A and B are shown apart, each in its own frame.
Chain A
């Protein structure tokens, strides 16, 4: 199997299937239509990874932003109870519009619970860990085009600009067709990384915006991403709109840095192996980085070095990886 074929196959294993993606979009659009019908809602649009097309399989949540008319809610947007009021207001609307028993636009929502920034709407059994949810986040449009969103815990409204991230991702995808698919690959990669706690998918997405090249093939781009990220993650990963600060202050940065550095080393070797025509070796190294879902070579095709009988240099791999001789071609 060629390297690009292996990446194609791996990508298919990472991507959500078309039916599930379509269902998620239909549910998102249902919420959008219902919310925009409300007289105090001026805009309703999707955000999050589904909007950016960087969603990872399985899709079990969708993000909606409902922008409210400030003239109809003049008390919103300032510190105090208005943040919680906005969330309660949105919950009431969702129940009225889409509630299970008597929703006017549909009967999708079994339960709607206000959380810190959004109303989490359960479309399946709330006890189902993989149940589908829709997060509806109320917001106010500011004069500079950014949003104010409620934060229940601090009883305040905080600035945010999710559309900026949407635009950035779209621009990068226009520049290079592999950007979004590789973001999904990296989001998958993070699940197997040895870090304390979890890594937010947004951290990986912003790192990709910062460190992923805008051209080239997928292996070399991943190699560059891991290399650059291993350095840049030490500078902390921050909101690209420069409004919300650090995305995940409690992130295990040391663990993530070490994982990125390890991946960079392996990716460098994988690219070197591929360049030397050692496709199987390259596949094996990519599998080491990306996990067992990455296609392995069919079977060993090269015997152990008959001259040196060199042992395997990588524990657990066949004796196929032998030191690469330097070419005797002096320059200067």
Chain B
């Protein structure tokens, strides 16, 4: 059995007197969560419990009650020792002996107990035993149970000693496109700890999106950005998500006013026009843009980093440079919807392949922000990343990747004379 101990319950137990009561709710999975605690024999106060929400809603759940005790540290060393031995228990006399007060004798039915051992680390620095542990106390002895105590800190700050959390918590990324790649990108950006994320997409979630989108079936019919924002807020509360039901082309004026508040824009929108508009607006705003898409019916993933630097060309400049070298065929109808147009076939990429590209795009965005803040371990090998998702033979360079999974990074190409995006207006 596993007992979940919410932070509020743990804090109460750590700060209260020698013993108290507790109520739990459990389910058929041998899982229980503390729902209320009391001190001594006073009233039981409800515990605000996020990890046990699923248990509250579960049908067929069961209620249970028990006690918590303040104990001598050595009892937890015993807990550690007997935990590793199946069916082993601590004799009741020993269990009782190490309680400071409040011992409840078990009846015919065992009860659940938590014990809290203050100063455990000082007393037994090498035993690595937790300060709160669980027991099933019956007439034949106290059996150790597993328990998970919710830490006081559960968010991204947990890893701040190993990851530049503070730098990213103040960063603001605008994500244009909340479709298959965009939804996975949003999750990845939040996973990295981006503090502020603005989602831009005019579309609603449809049945056919579900095969590739990260959002679940219950959101069908809603705006993709709204559904995604809700899910992200639930999953990654350290990221503030602002959903905007806007089209980057039709609402370019509004996007333009918002971009200066962003540190970077990441575009996963369908269609050449939306990508060009995003790149143009980003350059005018003086912020980097990262473009993510798949080419060749999902066989190739592509990440383009467009930094607003004089020697770096925009999306159009880079595409034209590739076209001139025979690397890419600039289809005039490339921005037609999936499954429409004469040159297009229905989208054939599989969700995880798109998510792989999405994660690389998010990594590119994060690395771009962090490099600019002086993190040398986040420098990328180039400005144009290619990843083979399904190997395509005989592609022209630079798309001639030989095996699935192969990646290639290329440098930037310079702006072309007369480019309306790259040249200062």
Binding site for B on A (CB under 8 A): 211, 213, 223-228, 231-232, 234-236, 253-254, 264-265, 267-268
Contacts and interface: CB of A to CB of B under 8 A. Distances in A.
24 contacts: A211-B374, A223-B374, A223-B376, A224-B373, A224-B374, A224-B375, A225-B374, A226-B376, A227-B374, A227-B375, A227-B376, A228-B371, A228-B372, A228-B373, A234-B307, A234-B309, A234-B311, A235-B286, A235-B308, A253-B310, A264-B379, A265-B376, A268-B376, A268-B377
Counting chain B residues whose Cβ lies within 8 A of the other chain, the interface size class is: 10 to 19
Nearest to B286: A235
Interface string B370-399: 011111110100000000000000000000
Contacts of A213: 374
Contacts of B309: 234-235
Contacts of B308: 235
Nearest to B379: A227
Nearest to A223: B376
A228 B311 contact: no
Contacts of A235: 286, 308-309
Given A224-B373, A227-B376, A265-B376, 11 more contacts: A223-B376, A224-B374, A224-B375, A225-B374, A226-B376, A227-B371, A227-B375, A231-B372, A234-B307, A235-B309, A268-B377
B313 to A, nearest CB: 13
A253 B377 CA distance: 23
A224 B310 CA distance: 23
Contact of A231 (B286, B310, B311, B371): B371
Interface string B297-310: 00000000001111
Nearest to A221: B374
A247 to B, nearest CB: 16
Interface of B: 286, 307-312, 371-377, 379
List the 10 closest pairs (A to B, CB-CB), nearest first: A224-B374, A228-B374, A234-B309, A268-B376, A227-B376, A231-B372, A227-B374, A231-B371, A264-B376, A223-B376
A265 B377 CA distance: 10
A267 B376 contact: yes
Specify the main secondary structure of chain B where it touches its partner.
Answer: loop
Contacts of A264: 376, 379
A46 B372 CA distance: 33
A110 to B, nearest CB: 44
Contacts of A227: 371, 374-376, 379
A253 B311 CA distance: 10
A203 to B, nearest CB: 16
A284 B119 CA distance: 48
B312 to A, nearest CB: 8
B402 to A, nearest CB: 26
A107 to B, nearest CB: 50
A211 B374 CA distance: 7
A224 B376 contact: yes
Contact of A254 (B286, B311, B371, B377): B311
Contact of B310 (A223, A226, A234, A267): A234
Nearest to A267: B376
A322 to B, nearest CB: 21
A171 B127 CA distance: 48
A305 B137 CA distance: 61
A280 B29 CA distance: 58
A97 to B, nearest CB: 46
A97 B89 CA distance: 97
A253 B312 CA distance: 13
Which residue, B373, B374, B376, B377, has most C-beta atoms of chain A within 10 A? B374
A93 to B, nearest CB: 42
B348 to A, nearest CB: 30
Contacts of B311: 234, 254
Which residue, B307, B311, B373, has most C-beta atoms of chain A within 10 A? B373
B378 to A, nearest CB: 8
Nearest to A253: B310
A179 to B, nearest CB: 14
B220 to A, nearest CB: 33
Which residue, B308, B372, B377, has most C-beta atoms of chain A within 10 A? B372
Nearest to A228: B374
A268 B377 CA distance: 8
A224 B373 CA distance: 7
Nearest to B378: A227
Nearest to B307: A234
Contacts of B375: 224, 227
Nearest to A231: B372
A231 B312 CA distance: 12
Nearest to B369: A231
A253 B371 CA distance: 18
A159 to B, nearest CB: 22
A227 B373 CA distance: 8
A246 B307 CA distance: 19
A223 B376 CA distance: 7
A116 to B, nearest CB: 26
A67 to B, nearest CB: 34
A183 to B, nearest CB: 15
Nearest to B374: A224
A235 B308 CA distance: 7
